[in-house]
Amino acid sequence: MRKELGKITRFEIGIGGYNGAMFGLSVTLEWKGGGVQDFDGTWIREPDERCQWNKEDQLMCWAKMCQRVIDLMCKAKVEKTSEMIGIPVEITLGNGRLDTWRILEEVL
């Protein structure tokens, strides 16, 4: 595990994720010499009999994503998603991949 100090360079709600087939929160985190992306959301399409999830699961996923957006914005002390750009973060990487990240509330 390694930690990097960086900032949010992209914070958007919309279509993205796997092959642009999902709806959710896309966040890009960058530090000197690197960057990672985080996506929190689920499939756009309606579930069918082949899916291992249902409409209720889909809506619950989006509700949790919206709550995460609210929590992140409160920690960053902002009122609009556009104000999340430049917010300082601590990024934890494991095996070169994003493990976790958090807003550095102590420096805001």
**Which pLDDT tens digit goes with each residue over 31-77?**
999 999 999 999 999 999 999 999 999 999 999 999 999 999 999 99
For residue 96, the model assigns a pLDDT of 81
The CATH classification of domain 2-107, taken from the options 3.40.720, 1.10.10, 2.40.50, 3.40.50: 2.40.50
**Which pLDDT tens digit goes with each residue over 86-101?**
999 999 999 989 999 9
For residue 64, the model assigns a pLDDT of 98
Query: Could you tell me the residue ranges of all domains in the chain?
Result: 2-107
Does residue 26 register a pLDDT over 90?
Answer: yes
Query: Which of 63-89 are b and which e, b meaning 16 or more Cβ less than 10 Å from the residue's Cβ?
Result: eebeeebeebbeebebeeeeebeebeb
The secondary structure of 48-86 as a DSSP string is -TT-SS-HHHHHHHHHHHHHHHHHHHHHHT-SSGGGGTT
pTM above 0.85, yes or no: yes
- Model confidence at 81, pLDDT cuts 50, 70, 90, reads very high
For residue 47, the model assigns a pLDDT of 92
